[in-house]
């Protein structure tokens, strides 16, 4: 067994997206090879509804999957497939845009601090134009595995013989919510060929021996090895573990659409303007 090392720490930056939602973008619209197959990660949260209730009105996606995880709060969803609903604390929306989908995500005012994450997962060339799908995952359907000083919720992927509810995902990524007890030190097995990303969002800790202690909102990109060494601070640590095998394919990306070539990208936006974006 070999521990992974921290290749890079990402701090991200504050930004405004949608119709005026304030959020912390950990990565996105930059070096896609660094986090391949993951394209974008937003960490959003505020106790002021004015920071988020403008939401993300109707907009298109093609060529990717979007994953929205509500840690706390309420978001309404609607899309061109006819799906509509509300996700709350601990729930997940896993949307495969594929050949094209138009949707909206509109947070509701929440009595407390609204917190959540959105991850964009790239689709390989052969699956860019797959039929779109939407999955609404309830909190009670997300299983957990436990070890000495830690507990992990499995949203997508399997660990310790337990499989998460987001299934039939092309890239078979891992999307795990890990909670470590104060002062806990423990290894987690990972797949050697994956890119592994760990985003701290509560407490603090490190991911290599003697490594930098990360505070909430910072992400470690880990390389090499088949285990991650997790070390929680005296206040404990909660982090998202995201892992997937890199695609290594060309990326043509503008706004909410990600294809492999500029020609494919231009065609997607032309179809959106012409009203032929949604495949029947």
Q: Which domain holds residue 241?
A: 5-274
What the block records as the tokens of 51 is 């920071």
Residues 6+ apart with CB under 8 A from 38: 27, 119, 120, 121, 122, 173, 195, 197, 242, 244
Cα separations in angstroms, 31 against 34, 36, 99, 120, 134? 6, 9, 24, 14, 28
Residues 6+ apart with CB under 8 A from 87: 68, 70, 74, 75, 77, 93, 136
Write down the pTM of the prediction. 0.96
Cα separations in angstroms, 141 against 2, 69, 214? 33, 14, 30
The helix (H) or strand (E) run that includes residue 137 is strand 133-137
Residue 158, in any domain of the structure? yes
The helix (H) or strand (E) run that includes residue 33 is helix 32-35
CB 80 within 8 A of CB 112: no
Residues 6+ apart with CB under 8 A from 152: 144, 145, 146, 159, 176, 177, 178, 179, 188, 241
DSSP string, 165-208: SB-S-TT--EEEEEEE-TT-EEEEE--TTSEEEEEEEEEEEESS
CB 157 within 8 A of CB 174: yes
Quote the CA–CA distance of 204 and 68 in Å, as a whole number.
Answer: 23
User: What pLDDT is recorded for position 155?
Assistant: 98
Residue 280, in any domain of the structure? no
Q: Which residues of 247-276 are buried (b: 16+ CB within 10 A; e: fewer)?
A: beeebbbeebbbbbeeebbeebeebbeeee
**Spatial CA neighbour of 68 closest among 101, 29, 104, 31:** 104
pLDDT tens track of the chain, all 280 residues? 899 999 999 999 999 999 999 999 999 999 999 999 999 999 999 999 999 999 999 999 999 999 999 999 999 999 999 999 899 999 999 999 999 999 999 999 999 999 999 999 999 999 999 999 999 999 999 999 999 999 999 999 999 999 999 999 999 999 999 999 999 999 999 999 999 999 999 999 999 998 889 999 999 999 999 999 999 999 999 999 999 999 999 999 999 999 999 999 999 999 999 999 998 6
CB 142 within 8 A of CB 164: yes
User: What pLDDT is recorded for position 280?
Assistant: 66
Residue 279, in any domain of the structure? no
User: What pLDDT is recorded for position 211?
Assistant: 86
Quote the CA–CA distance of 119 and 271 in Å, as a whole number.
Answer: 25
CB 51 within 8 A of CB 120: no
Q: How many domains does the chain have?
A: 1
Residue 257 is part of a domain; what is its CATH number?
Answer: 2.60.120.10
Quote the CA–CA distance of 45 and 22 in Å, as a whole number.
Answer: 8
Q: Work out whether the CA dihedral 9, 236, 172, 78 comes out positive or negative.
A: negative
């Amino acid at each position: 067994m070999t521990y992974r090392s921290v290749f890079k720490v990402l701090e991200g930056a504050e930004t405004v997206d949608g119709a005026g939602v304030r959020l912390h973008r950990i990565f996105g619209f930059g070096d896609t090879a660094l986090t391949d197959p993951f394209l974008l990660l937003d960490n959003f949260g505020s106790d002021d509804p004015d920071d988020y209730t403008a939401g993300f009105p109707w907009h298109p996606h093609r060529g990717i999957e979007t994953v929205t995880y509500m840690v706390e709060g309420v978001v309404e969803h609607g899309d061109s497939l006819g799906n509509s609903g509300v996700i709350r604390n601990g729930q997940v929306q896993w949307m495969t845009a594929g050949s094209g989908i138009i949707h909206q995500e509109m947070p509701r005012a929440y009595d407390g601090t609204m917190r959540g994450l959105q991850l964009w997962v790239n689709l390989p060339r052969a699956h860019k134009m797959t039929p779109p799908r939407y999955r609404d995952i309830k909190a009670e359907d997300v299983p957990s595995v436990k070890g000495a000083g830690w507990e992990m919720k499995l949203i997508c992927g399997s660990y310790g013989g337990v499989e998460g509810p987001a299934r039939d995902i092309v890239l078979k990524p891992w999307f795990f919510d890990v909670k470590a007890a104060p002062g806990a030190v423990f290894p987690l097995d990972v797949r050697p060929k994956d890119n592994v990303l760990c985003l701290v969002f509560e407490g603090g800790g490190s991911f290599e021996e003697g490594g930098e202690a990360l505070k909430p909102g910072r992400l470690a990109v880990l390389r090499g090895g088949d285990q991650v060494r997790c070390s929680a601070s005296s206040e404990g640590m909660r982090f998202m573990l995201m892992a997937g095998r890199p695609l290594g394919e060309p990326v043509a990306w503008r706004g909410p659409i990600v294809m492999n070539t500029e020609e494919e990208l231009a065609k997607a936006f032309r179809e959106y303007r012409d009203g032929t974006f949604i495949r029947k």
